[in-house]
Amino acid sequence: MSAAMKIAFIGFGEAAQAFTRGWREAGLARPLAVAAYDILFDAGADAAANKRAVREACDALEVRAAADACDAVAGAELVFSAVTAEQQLAAARSALDGLGAGQRYCDINSVAPFRKVEAAALIAQRGAQYVDMAVMDPVLPKLHRTPLLLSGVNVAQAVPQLEALGLQFEIVSERVGDASTLKMIRSVAIKGFESVTMECVAAAVKLGIDARVLPSVGRTLFRHADIDNLANHVSERVAVHGRRRAAEMREVAATLEHIGLPPFMAQATAAHQQWVTDLGVRNAFSGEVPKDARAIARALLACLDEKQEK
């Protein structure tokens, strides 16, 4: 049997867990030894439930819970950084002392391209190769088969390892930031549409006209597409993942400002998704993932009423 490929994750949230589960279920030709470090490992009592959940995920997926980022990445062939947008550079810095020549650092975080350039400069100090990796679809249900865009210096050298993991990817260029640029600009439409749709559904439900408004939207925009399923999907994404997506949209806004464009829609989308998160809409579903746009809208309205009464 061939030696195990050593994989490391900095951050072990939804994306990291999805990739790992996909690899475990796929039965890859080469065995994997996966290690991970997540800041929740060191969380206090106020985040005890999240700490327990991420450690249980490690156990379930046969992932070694590392003592710190350096411990996780030491000796790994591939390192995946999968943290929140605001922690992207801090994650790179935290791993530096564990990195060296021959390792590849795959940054899958949804951040502005110039932040990827900053991280690449840090990683280069240790002689490791930096790969700008953009995740172009939700990781569920496709897991490790989720489409990826790659860019970076000599990025083609990473192809054999990535193919061995069954990853689905397209190389954009050899310039760090190009893959992330494509994702950031695309997100203006994708995340913006999520927020526009959720706001429309909430207003329609409040007024009791959703049965007429949503089919009308479907006819106009999508020529009889299934607007209900679309609304269910985008509302769930915001209700469950609004905090992360708001952070991404702030990075999109920074990207637009960097190229001299006023980020009106990006800022509004970030504000809306953060607002939904701060209202606590997800908490109304007792840990279950909400799947119905109208139920999410009713929960949002109830949260808003409760807030206004205080």
Q: Which residues pair with 32 in a beta bridge?
A: 5
Same domain, 300 and 212: yes
Tell me how far apart the alpha carbons of residues 307 and 310 are, in angstroms, rounded to a whole number.
5
Q: Residue 282 is encoded by which pair of tokens? A: 């997800």
Give the per-residue pLDDT at 173: 98
Token pair of 85 as six digits? 């947008």
CA distance 232 to 296: 9
- Domain with 212, as residue range(s), is 181-309
The pLDDT, as a whole number, for residue 139 is 96
At residue 220, the pLDDT reads 79
The terminus-to-terminus CA distance of the chain in angstroms comes to 64
Same domain membership, residue 144 and residue 231: no
**Per-residue burial over 24-44, b = 16 or more CB atoms within 10 Å of its CB, e = otherwise:** beeeeeeebbbbbbbbbbeee
- pLDDT for 169: 98
Q: At what angle do helices 210-222 and 227-258 cross, to 10 degrees?
A: 60
Total structural domains in the chain?
2
- Asked whether residue 18 falls in the same domain as residue 153, the answer is yes
* 64 in the same domain as 128: yes
Same domain, 113 and 207: no
Q: Please report the DSSP string for 139-177 in residue order.
A: STTTGGGSEEEEESTTGGGGHHHHHHTT-EEEEEESSTT
Ordered mean pLDDT values, 10 residues apiece, the chain (310 residues): 90 98 94 98 91 97 98 98 96 98 98 97 97 96 98 98 97 98 94 90 93 88 72 91 94 93 92 95 91 94 88
pLDDT of residue 165: 98
The pLDDT of residue 56: 98
Do residues 176 and 151 make contact, with C-beta atoms less than 8 angstroms apart?
yes
pLDDT at residue 225, as a whole number:
61
Last residue of a domain, one of 130, 156, 176: 176
pLDDT at 59: 98
Separation between Cα atoms, residue 87 and residue 217, nearest integer Å? 38
For residue 197, what are its two tokens? 């749709």
Pair 81, 14 in one domain: yes
Instruction: Measure the CA–CA gap between 286 and 4, rounded to whole angstroms.
Output: 40
CATH number at 196 reads 1.10.1040.10
d(CA 130, CA 151): 9
Query: Based on C-alpha coordinates, what's the Rg of the chain?
Result: 20
